Amino acid sequence: MLEVVSQEGRLRGAVRRIAQRLKSERRREIQLSSRAGRVRVSVQWRAAERFWWHLAEDSDRWHLVLGHTARVHSIESASCEINLRRLGADRRLAGAVLRDGQGELFLAHSGRVGGARSGADRSALRSFLTPGNWHAVRWPDGVETELHVVAHLGGPRFARQLGRFVREMQRFKDSGEAGVQPRAVATLAEDAAAPLPAQCDHGLLLDALDAALRERGLGSDDADGGGAGDLFAHRFRGQRRIVELAVDASDDAAHRLLGRLVARRAAERGPVRPIAVLPRDAPDWTESIFRRLEVGLVRFGWKGEKAMFEGLDEALG
């Protein structure tokens, strides 16, 4: 089980690592606006991920303040904060650093949202975040709770993972209705056994896959019944394409994904083309079995921070 890091030295090291991973040459002085008023601070701007960040420290905690925006304005308000105790752990704070069994560190958020609209509580955020990367964690006093694992500190896409979370937190605050889902609809429940670093990439993959489909003219047809469950659904050349992604390369994950796609095809009216998107190192048997069952197969991998989808055009037909 994931454990909350509470030792002062390890927390300080983790915070230092976060600052190093997010370091940017683009800095700006802004007026940071909150319910308490405005304060002048220096923020660092991550243009590629479209978020700014500010790290402050007081006697007992670090304050990691983050804001999503297309460009930094002279006055900004935070999209979210991920605050951490300098020593020990505090479930009243939104942030936590987690350690897995291999010693890898992850940044997590409790789901507590300050300054949001009425009704924007933890349960509403949980239903909003897609995919939801919630995991059971153990605190130093032995209490177990669930936290949303935001980003892998040691992973190559830490800044992008964090940036996506900041974006979704801003969308959640801006949305007029609790529980409104992002455009790319999927769940992570079936990938719960996948390595945690891969689960942290799931949202990035969904965004990239959605963009790749739209580049090919496959606009989502959710209004026509395509938004159910954990599938993309598109109409292309008169035939519906249902597309599902799995981040786990195991045999079990491939079997589960195949079963869901075949079941969905059987429930549809009219011609349907199911398409599975699996990691490059997915089992070899998927090639022949998926072809025999007339399920398109796409494999994905990473080129730096860019997701690459192999065989997508062929699978779409």
> What's the CA gap between 186 and 253, in Å, rounded?
15
Question: Six-digit token pair at 198?
Answer: 């891969």
First to last CA, the chain: 43
pLDDT at 186 over 50: no
> What's the CA gap between 149 and 164, in Å, rounded?
12
Question: Which DSSP helix (H) or strand (E) runs through 126?
Answer: helix 122-128
| pLDDT score at 56 | 94
Percentages of the chain per state (helix, strand, coil), in multiples of 5 = 30, 30, 40
Helix, strand or coil for residue 256?
A: helix
Question: Six-digit token pair at 99?
Answer: 């350690």
Helix, strand or coil for residue 27?
A: strand
**Alpha-carbon dihedral 99, 102, 103, 105, rounded to 10 degrees:** -50
Question: Which DSSP helix (H) or strand (E) runs through 106?
Answer: strand 105-109
pLDDT at 117 over 70: no
> What's the CA gap between 31 and 74, in Å, rounded?
6
The mean of the pLDDT values for the chain is 87
pLDDT at 116 over 80: no
> What's the CA gap between 96 and 249, in Å, rounded?
28
pLDDT digits (tens, 9 = 90+) for 126-179: 888 878 899 999 999 999 999 999 999 999 999 999 999 999 999 998 875 444
> What's the CA gap between 41 and 126, in Å, rounded?
31
Question: Six-digit token pair at 170?
Answer: 């801003």
Distances from the Cα of 249 to the Cα of 66, 94, 279, 291, angstroms: 33, 32, 6, 18
Q: How many CB atoms neighbour CB 89 within 10 A?
A: 18
> What's the CA gap between 80 and 112, in Å, rounded?
10
Q: What is the DSSP letter of 189?
A: G
pLDDT at 252 over 50: yes
Domain with CATH 3.40.1350 in the chain: 189-316
Helices 285-292 and 251-267, axial angle in degrees (round to 10): 10
| pTM score of the predicted model | 0.89
- Top CATH class of 189-316 equals alpha beta
pLDDT digits (tens, 9 = 90+) for 16-71: 999 999 999 899 999 999 888 899 999 999 999 999 999 999 989 999 999 999 99
Question: Six-digit token pair at 98?
Answer: 């987690």
Residue range 278-304: mean pLDDT, rounded: 95
- Provide, rounded to the nearest whole percent, the portion of the chain with pLDDT above 90: 68
| pLDDT score at 6 | 96
Q: What is the DSSP letter of 130?
A: S
